[in-house]
Structure 1
């Protein structure tokens, strides 16, 4: 027991080891008690903050607790200055890493709820995914700089060097950074979210994924269309999911032999047919043209639904009823044809051929 090892007796080493084990075990016991207490409160009344606390505490690493225990034990020993400095820096580095792990798991847990609600609000899931990634990257970057500073590295020079290197890298990857900032614009401004049906130039489909560089759209044909985020924001985007009402305009052309009283009555008859349809708001119907082949009408109404199937069902029913109404009124739809009348020209009678020519023919 009186043996001296590195300036400390064997008894001192055993005491230090016992203190290290006791501290590590004590910290682990405190973690278990806190977890049990928070989980019991969460079971009684669910809370998002308590869920985050449970996720963070559950990520506590036993090796970190052991390093903190060893530091507590080492503080009881008469160690050289370099040994004490090493123990202090190791304990601080372990504690910083553990704080980063707590923060990482806490952010993941906090964002888990919006992702679970993706069907109700896809925009929140999209925003939380991108913002959560940036928060976690920033957290680990700050912790890494703090650890380097704790180890005695001059981080001022390092940060300045990283700034210069960052400018060079930024110039080299302008397109990637452009897509990254475009992704942030999509997340924050929300011109569309996952699940929206959009039209971009000649491509149309449902948004499946919004990434840091690309956005993926599933077209009606089944193939996946991949857009660069920067190029996508430069395009004109039609978001059909946010359509509150669909404006419908169609023309009706009737034959020139339709009598004037029927022509005058047609707008009212068409209005009655359109107004009878559910989820439809009639706007107007007018006799608006006397072209060469027909008399034409223009009819405008609104379908109070963004569902394309509802729009097609309404349009089909209106067309069928108009056809039936025209048949009852004895009105014929105009055909794309023209009739040419020749006046003041003598009739041309066929001239019979001689007998021999008829035989030859």
Structure 2
């Protein structure tokens, strides 16, 4: 028998060698295109203002060698007269590999676009960073779930019955992990409602700190003393939160007391002195100053003003300047600050 008539199963040896040669040639061509032509395209894309071409380059660079190999083998076997079972096997493997590679491409493109948008919005809207992270996570879950269903359908599995079964099983799983799911939905609530964002300073009950990270289950704060505070998302939303990151101005209320021996004419000018002290500082808005009450050992004045900045250090600088100004003016006017004192009246035996 001539070698040209040899067979490998139902396939002629010559046809098999031709298919192998075609597959090898196509694989080499695809590898060359990925490593050489794609690199040149990438350098060209870096010089353009459009970002779509950069993202397409990043997507194509995720092409895996096994995908290129399977596609080359499939194209090489197109002219072979394979039996029905073999043809179905080749097509099924090719479709599965194509679906997996398409999932990688789509996931890469989604991550690239969200990352660009996140960097663009970071300065103007820090809260969008959490939203985009959650959207990216949910988007990838939906994408790979869709790829999995297509792959199972390609294998001949009844996807409709599978989805129904997963629905019933999902209810049981949800009941078992309801605490985790509660934290997950609380995380989505934080992302969508935005009661706080990364960088905000929060006070929760008697704990306080700056938000460092909002995760799917926990939110982490950095306290003033340096340690990290970890809160469950569901517990956090059930707490009373004071968000100083949303403060635009700070209302300041403080009191001073002067001695009962202070003349009435001096008492009348104290509100004016307090106004002068507040208005002499920048980034302030004076509200009021009044003789509030007769204390146990002092005549009490209450002053209210606003600091037009949320910065705590700036507030303390202003309060210090106000205190020093008041101290100087009281010295000039001869007004004495009150401090806790007691006066004892001792009766003599003759009395």
Instruction: Return the TM-score normalized by structure 1.
Output: 0.90
Deviation at 1:263, TM superposition (A): 1.1
Which moved further from structure 2: 46-55 or 152-161? 46-55
* Equivalent in the alignment of 2:325: 321
Deviation at 1:125, TM superposition (A): 2.6
The structure that has the greater radius of gyration is 1
- Which segment drifts farther, 120-129 or 182-191? 120-129
Question: CA offsets, 1:186-231, max 9 Å, x none?
Answer: 1222222222211111100111221110111111111111100000
Where does 1:160-179 land on structure 2 (aligned, <5 Å)?
160-179=164-183
CA contact (8 A) 1:114 1:125 kept: no
Name the counterpart of 2:315.
311
Distance in 2 between residues matched to 1:33 and 1:133, nearest whole Å: 33
Is 2:18 aligned against 1:15? yes
Correspondence 1:3-152 to 2 at 5 A = 3-31=6-34, 35-36=38-39, 38-113=41-116, 116=119, 120=123, 121-152=125-156
Aligned 8 A contact 2:122 2:128 in 1: no
d(CA) in 1 for partners of 2:127, 2:56:
25
Q: Secondary structure at the match of 1:193?
A: coil
Q: Does 1:208 align with 2:218?
A: no
Q: Is the 8 A contact 1:292 1:338 kept in 2?
A: no
Q: Residues 191 and 51 from structure 1, CA distance in 2 versus in 1: closer, same or farther, beyond 3 angstroms?
A: farther
Q: Secondary structure at the match of 1:283?
A: strand
Q: Indicate if the aligned counterparts of 1:51 and 1:109 stay in contact, CA closer than 8 A.
A: no
Kindly report the root-mean-square deviation, in angstroms, between the aligned alpha carbons of the 2 structures: 2.2
- 1:187 equivalent in structure 2: 191
Whole-angstrom distance in 1 between the partners of 2:219 and 2:121: 17
Taking the aligned partners of 2:40 and 2:343, their CA distance within structure 1 comes to 92
What secondary structure is seen at the aligned counterpart in 2 of 1:158? helix
TM-score by length of 2: 0.92
- The alignment status of 1:334 with 2:338, answered yes or no, reads yes
Q: Distance in 1 between matches of 2:84 and 2:310?
A: 74
- 1:75: how far off? 2.0
Q: CA-to-partner distance for each residue in 1:295-315, whole Å, 9 max, x for gaps?
A: 221111111111111111111
1:7 CA drift (Å): 2.3
Counterpart Cα distance in 2 of 1:65 and 1:119: 38
The structural deviation recorded for 1:19 is 2.4
Tell me, what secondary structure is at the counterpart of 1:331? Answer: coil
Structure 1 residues 51 and 192, CA, compared in 2 at 3 Å: closer, same or farther? farther
Q: Does the 8 A contact of 2:122 with 2:129 survive in 1?
A: no
Aligned counterpart, 1:354 = none
Q: 1:313 to 1:119 in 2, by over 3 A?
A: farther
* Structure 2, unpaired ranges of 5+: none
Q: Distance in 2 between matches of 1:114 and 1:320?
A: 49
Point out where structure 1 has 5 or more consecutive residues left out of the alignment: 350-361
CA drift at 1:37: 5.7
**Aligned equivalents of 1:206, 1:50: Cα separation in 2:** 39
Higher mean alpha-carbon deviation, 25-34 vs 2-11, is at 25-34
Provide the aligned length of Structure 1 versus Structure 2: 347
Write the distance in 2 (CA, Å) between the matches of 1:161 and 1:148: 14
Aligned to 1:348: 349
The equivalent of 1:357 in structure 2 is none
Given that 2:46 and 2:54 are in contact with CA atoms closer than 8 Å, whether structure 1 keeps it comes out as: no
